[in-house]
Structure 1
Amino acid sequence: MQSGMETLATLANGAGTYAAGVVTHDGEAHAATGFTSYAWLLVALPLVGAAVLLLGGRRTDKFGPLLATALSWGAFLVGAILFIGMLGRDDGDRPKSVHLFDWVAGGSFNVSAGMLLDQLSLVFVLLITFVGSLIHVYSLGYMEHDPDKRRFFAYLNLFVAAMLLLVLADSYLLLYVGWEGVGLASYLLIGFWHYNPAFATAGNKAFVMNRVGDLGLSIGIFIMFFHFGGVDFSTVFAGAEAVNGVNQGFMTAIGLMLLLAACGKSAQFPLQAWLGDAMAGPTPVSALIHAATMVTAGVYLVVRSAPIFEATPDAQTVVVIVGAITLLFGAIVGCAKDDIKKALAASTMSQIGYMMLAAGLGPVGYAFAIAHLLTHGFFKAGMFLGAGSVMHAMDNQVDMRRFGGLFSLTKITAVTFGVGWLAIIGFPGLSGFFTKDKIIEAAFIGVGWRPWVFGLAALIGAGVTAFYMSRLYFMTFLGKKRWTDDVHPHESPLTMTIPMMVLSLGSGFLGLLLVPTGFITGWLNPAFGIAETAEEHPVVAPIIITLVTLLLIVAGVGLAYLRYIRDDVPVLAPTGSLVTQAARQDLYQDQINEGLFMRPGVHLTRSLVFADSKGVDGAAGGLAAMIGGSSSRLRKLQNGFARSYALTMLAGVVAILGALWVIS
Structure 2
Amino acid sequence: MQHFLWLVPALPLLGSIVLMLGTGRLSHRAEALIGVLSVGLAAVVAFAIAGAFLLDPPAGAAYQQSLWRWFAVGHFSFGIALRVDPLSLLMMLVTSGVGFLIHLFSTEFMEGEEGYGRFFAYLNLFVAAMLLLVMADNFLVLYAGWEGVGLCSYLLIGFWWRDPANGLAARKAFIVTRVGDTAFLIGLLLIASRLGTLNIAGAMDAASRTWHPGSPAATLIAFLLLGGAVGKSAQLPLQTWLPDAMAGPTPVSALIHAATMVTAGVYLIARTHVLFLLAPAAEITVGIVGAATLLLAGFSALAQNDIKRILAYSTMSQIGYMFLALGVGAWRAAMFHFMTHAFFKALLFLSAGAVTMRLHHEQDIYRMGGLARRLPAAFWSFLIGSAALAALPLITSGFYSKEAILSGAWADGNGGRVLWLAGVIGAFVTGIYIFRAVFIAFFGEEHTHVSGSYGWRVIVPLVVLSVLSLVGGFIELPPAFGHVTLLSRLLAPVLPPTREVTDMTPLLLASAASILGIALAAVLYWRPSRPPAETPLWRFWHAAAGFDALYDRLLVRPVIWAARVDRDDFIDSFYDGIAWATQAIHRAIRRTQTGRVRLYAASLAIGSVGLIAIAVLR
* TM value normalised by structure 2: 0.89
Matching residue within 541, 545, 565 for 1:583: 541
Contact in 1 for aligned 2:214/2:280 (Cα 8 Å): no
Say whether 1:223 aligns with 2:185: no
Report the counterpart of residue 451 of structure 1 in structure 2. 416
In the TM superposition, 1:160-559 aligns within 5 A as 160-244=127-211, 248-362=215-329, 365-428=330-393, 429-448=395-414, 450-483=415-448, 487-515=449-477, 516-528=483-495, 530=496, 536=499, 542-559=503-520
Residues 623-661 of structure 1 deviation map (CA, whole Å, 9 limit, x = unaligned): xxxxxxxxxxxxxxxxxxxxxxxxxxxxxxxxxxxxxxx
CA distance in 1, matches of 2:82, 2:229: 21
Say whether 1:39 aligns with 2:5: yes
Residues 531-586 of structure 1 deviation map (CA, whole Å, 9 limit, x = unaligned): xxx66355xx64111221222122211221121124x33x2x23243222111112
Aligned to 2:371, what secondary structure does the other structure show?
Answer: coil
Please tell me the residue identity of whatever aligns with 2:411. I
Aligned to 2:493, what secondary structure does the other structure show?
Answer: helix
Structure 1 residue 392, shift from structure 2 partner: 1.1
With over 3 angstroms needed to count, the CA separation of the structure-2 counterparts of 1:526 and 1:392, relative to structure 1, is same
In the TM superposition, 1:611-626 aligns within 5 A as 613-614=569-570
- Bigger shift: residues 474-483 or 38-47: 474-483
With over 3 angstroms needed to count, the CA separation of the structure-2 counterparts of 1:356 and 1:91, relative to structure 1, is farther
Please tell me the residue identity of whatever aligns with 2:383. G
CA distance in 1, matches of 2:423, 2:566: 46
With over 3 angstroms needed to count, the CA separation of the structure-2 counterparts of 1:621 and 1:490, relative to structure 1, is closer
Residues 376-401 of structure 1 deviation map (CA, whole Å, 9 limit, x = unaligned): 10110011000001101211100000
Structure 1 residue 225, shift from structure 2 partner: 1.4
CA distance in 2, matches of 1:352, 1:491: 34
Structure 1 residue 213, shift from structure 2 partner: 1.1
Structure 1 residue 356, shift from structure 2 partner: 1.0
CA distance in 1, matches of 2:199, 2:101: 33
Residues 606-638 of structure 1 deviation map (CA, whole Å, 9 limit, x = unaligned): 55556xx15x6789999xxxxxxxxxxxxxxxx
Structure 1 vs Structure 2 CA RMSD: 2.0
Contact in 2 for aligned 1:337/1:343 (Cα 8 Å): yes
Say whether 1:564 aligns with 2:564: no
Contact in 1 for aligned 2:369/2:440 (Cα 8 Å): yes
Please tell me the residue identity of whatever aligns with 2:396. L
Say whether 1:592 aligns with 2:592: no
Report the counterpart of residue 101 of structure 1 in structure 2. 68
Report the counterpart of residue 592 of structure 2 in structure 1. none
In the TM superposition, 1:14-93 aligns within 5 A as 35-62=1-28, 63-90=30-57, 93=60
Report the counterpart of residue 661 of structure 1 in structure 2. none
CA distance in 1, matches of 2:137, 2:375: 46
Please tell me the residue identity of whatever aligns with 1:114. A
CA distance in 2, matches of 1:563, 1:159: 40
Contact in 2 for aligned 1:409/1:491 (Cα 8 Å): no
Instruction: Report the structure number with the largest CA radius of gyration.
Output: 1
With over 3 angstroms needed to count, the CA separation of the structure-2 counterparts of 1:197 and 1:479, relative to structure 1, is same
Please tell me the residue identity of whatever aligns with 1:253. L
Contact in 1 for aligned 2:243/2:312 (Cα 8 Å): yes
CA distance in 2, matches of 1:496, 1:307: 42
Report the counterpart of residue 586 of structure 2 in structure 1. none
Structure 1 residue 95, shift from structure 2 partner: 0.7
Report the counterpart of residue 603 of structure 2 in structure 1. none
Please tell me the residue identity of whatever aligns with 2:464. V
Contact in 2 for aligned 1:389/1:491 (Cα 8 Å): no
Aligned to 1:147, what secondary structure does the other structure show?
Answer: coil
With over 3 angstroms needed to count, the CA separation of the structure-2 counterparts of 1:537 and 1:153, relative to structure 1, is closer
CA distance in 1, matches of 2:325, 2:186: 25
With over 3 angstroms needed to count, the CA separation of the structure-2 counterparts of 1:249 and 1:609, relative to structure 1, is farther
Residues 338-387 of structure 1 deviation map (CA, whole Å, 9 limit, x = unaligned): 0000000000000000011111222xx11111111111101100110000
Structure 1 residue 145, shift from structure 2 partner: 1.0
Aligned to 1:113, what secondary structure does the other structure show?
Answer: strand
Aligned to 1:327, what secondary structure does the other structure show?
Answer: helix
Aligned to 2:22, what secondary structure does the other structure show?
Answer: helix
CA distance in 2, matches of 1:471, 1:491: 25
Residues 111-144 of structure 1 deviation map (CA, whole Å, 9 limit, x = unaligned): 1110011101111111011110011110110011
Please tell me the residue identity of whatever aligns with 1:536. R
In the TM superposition, 1:103-142 aligns within 5 A as 103-142=70-109
With over 3 angstroms needed to count, the CA separation of the structure-2 counterparts of 1:242 and 1:480, relative to structure 1, is same
Report the counterpart of residue 29 of structure 1 in structure 2. none
Residues 389-444 of structure 1 deviation map (CA, whole Å, 9 limit, x = unaligned): 11012111000001111001100111111111111111122101100111011111
Contact in 1 for aligned 2:332/2:498 (Cα 8 Å): no
Q: How many residues align?
A: 570
Please tell me the residue identity of whatever aligns with 2:226. L
Contact in 2 for aligned 1:193/1:199 (Cα 8 Å): yes
- Bigger shift: residues 546-555 or 462-471: 546-555
Structure 1 residue 601, shift from structure 2 partner: 2.9
With over 3 angstroms needed to count, the CA separation of the structure-2 counterparts of 1:117 and 1:618, relative to structure 1, is closer
CA distance in 2, matches of 1:285, 1:535: 33
Contact in 2 for aligned 1:193/1:281 (Cα 8 Å): yes
Aligned to 1:131, what secondary structure does the other structure show?
Answer: helix
Work out the percentage of aligned pairs sharing the same amino acid. Answer: 38
CA distance in 1, matches of 2:458, 2:72: 48
CA distance in 1, matches of 2:16, 2:42: 13
Structure 1 residue 245, shift from structure 2 partner: 5.5
Structure 1 residue 309, shift from structure 2 partner: 0.7
Please tell me the residue identity of whatever aligns with 2:305. D
Residues 253-311 of structure 1 deviation map (CA, whole Å, 9 limit, x = unaligned): 11111111111111111111011111110110000000010111110011001111111
Please tell me the residue identity of whatever aligns with 2:413. V
CA distance in 2, matches of 1:357, 1:61: 47
- Bigger shift: residues 368-377 or 60-69: 60-69
Structure 1 residue 317, shift from structure 2 partner: 1.1
With over 3 angstroms needed to count, the CA separation of the structure-2 counterparts of 1:537 and 1:125, relative to structure 1, is closer
Aligned to 2:532, what secondary structure does the other structure show?
Answer: coil
CA distance in 2, matches of 1:127, 1:473: 26
Please tell me the residue identity of whatever aligns with 1:360. G
Please tell me the residue identity of whatever aligns with 2:499. E
Mark the runs of 5 or more structure 2 residues left unpaired by the alignment: 478-482, 578-618
